[in-house]
Amino acid sequence: MSGQMEHANLFEDARSHLEDVFAAIDVPGDARERLMQPNLSLQVSVPVRMDDGSLKVFPGWRVQYDTTLGPAKGGIRFHPDVSQAEVTTLSFWMAVKCAVVDLPYGGGKGGVKVDPKQLSKLELERLARSYIRAIADVVGPERDIPAPDVNTNATVMGWMADEFDHLARGKVPAAITGKPPALGGSKGRVAATGRGALHVLDLWAEREQRKPEQTTVAIQGFGNAAYHFARLAHERGYRIVAVSDSKGTIYSREGLDPDAIMEQKERNKRLHDMVYCDDSVCIAENVEKLERDELLTLKVDVLALAALENQVHEENVDQLRCGAVLEIANGPVTGQADVRLEERGVPVLPDVLANTGGVIVSYYEWVQNRSGERWAEEDINKRLAKRLKAQSDKVFERAERDGISYRKAAYRQGIERIAHAIQLRGQCQDSE
């Protein structure tokens, strides 16, 4: 199956959750119609002058799925498999997750179809600036606020923020989040997605009367979010027994030290002057090395999925031997696999709740930029924990009260809030 077909199916799979919500709660017809399609979908050409003097043009997109609750919010990914359907799906998930945790945002997402690891650092910077020039008319602090995603980070966001300032002929720090702190970025933002996922896991474990030191965890993926989740979970006492990336899996029954693994990866960085780390977790010593997909079949208490979409699907879901699934990535479990896990009684802590730490702290960065304040990291982490506890408790209580999965409870919570806001705006809003 081609990548485009997979992404088209991904969007239909993601949107299928709406049917469950519509069948379960009273969503007026106007809201249903609006939620089935994105508000805006922009395709752009992203020209880049290469170091050898040649010009390459990469396709890019920015999608705003729904902006009823506020300006669109969502990351930008640079990846060779990016497509319009994928970006649309991601923007849909962003709309839901912002509503689930009660942020004044809609859902947005962007991407460029490119392999950034094949670019020099200067080519990467030209790509970032060219993309912002291409989408500048539809983004900004009151309309759509981009942030990091796959293969983009604080360095890339800093370039984009600087380019937006040049276009605006002024300083507009609230236009981009995930920036370096020296350019107005928020303390705590880099670790926020991983920290938020750990908060959700902690809250669930507490309800299950499960102690961290009695809980084994396997983590698929070892990017930024996965590393910080692993580091913080290890500090809390969880036993991280396996980690995988695109090149393989490492396993240790006694437990792994995420900091030691990352230190070895950092030591072996070779490409792009520290922009990307191209080495594998498999360089770690004194561990058992397995095939990449073997991680999914390990018998562990929690399987944390922190790679890409559709990692657990109909063909491999019955091979999972975990007690619970934590979705740190976006959409790592397909709809059919999700149904199967529910039938088997395997709880899934869904992405629209579990990976909201990044967008929550991006919201705090946006607030700081607009007010001209700088908050301490301790204060930001406390605010993150407080918001996640309040909204996670609502999801868990709804799931228990209605006898439904955590995913269904989260979607109902988010869509209910969006639909209510759509109705409050009145029936003639499409005449703007």
Any idea which residues carry the catalytic annotation? Answer: 109
In the chain, the largest separation of any two C-alpha atoms, in whole Å, equals 65
> To 5 degrees, how large is the angle CA 98–CA 414–CA 368?
20
Please state, as a whole number, how many other Cβ atoms lie within 10 Å of the Cβ of residue 136.
15
Please state, as a whole number, how many other Cβ atoms lie within 10 Å of the Cβ of residue 332.
27
- Residue 166, both tokens: 């040049």
Please state, as a whole number, how many other Cβ atoms lie within 10 Å of the Cβ of residue 36.
12
- H helix or E strand, kind and range, residue 109: strand 106-113
- Give, in order, the Cα–Cα distances in Å from 63 to each of 2, 321, 344, 381, 416: 22, 37, 36, 30, 22
CB-based burial label for 294 (10 Å; 0-12, 13-18, 19+): middle
d(CA 193, CA 351): 11
d(CA 88, CA 109): 7
Using CA atoms of 315, 316, 319, 322 in order, give the dihedral in degrees to the nearest 10. -140
Q: Is the dihedral of CA 222, 158, 92, 151 positive or negative?
A: negative
- Give, in order, the Cα–Cα distances in Å from 403 to each of 171, 327, 387, 395, 409: 50, 21, 24, 12, 9
In degrees rounded to 5, what are phi and psi of residue 24? -95, -30
d(CA 233, CA 256): 11
User: Would you give the distance in Å from CA 297 to the centre of its chain?
Assistant: 24
User: Would you give the distance in Å from CA 146 to the centre of its chain?
Assistant: 13
- Residue 126, both tokens: 């030209």
User: How big is the chain by its Cα radius of gyration, in Å?
Assistant: 21
**Block residue for tokens 């392999």:** 115
- Give, in order, the Cα–Cα distances in Å from 118 to each of 52, 146, 380: 14, 23, 36
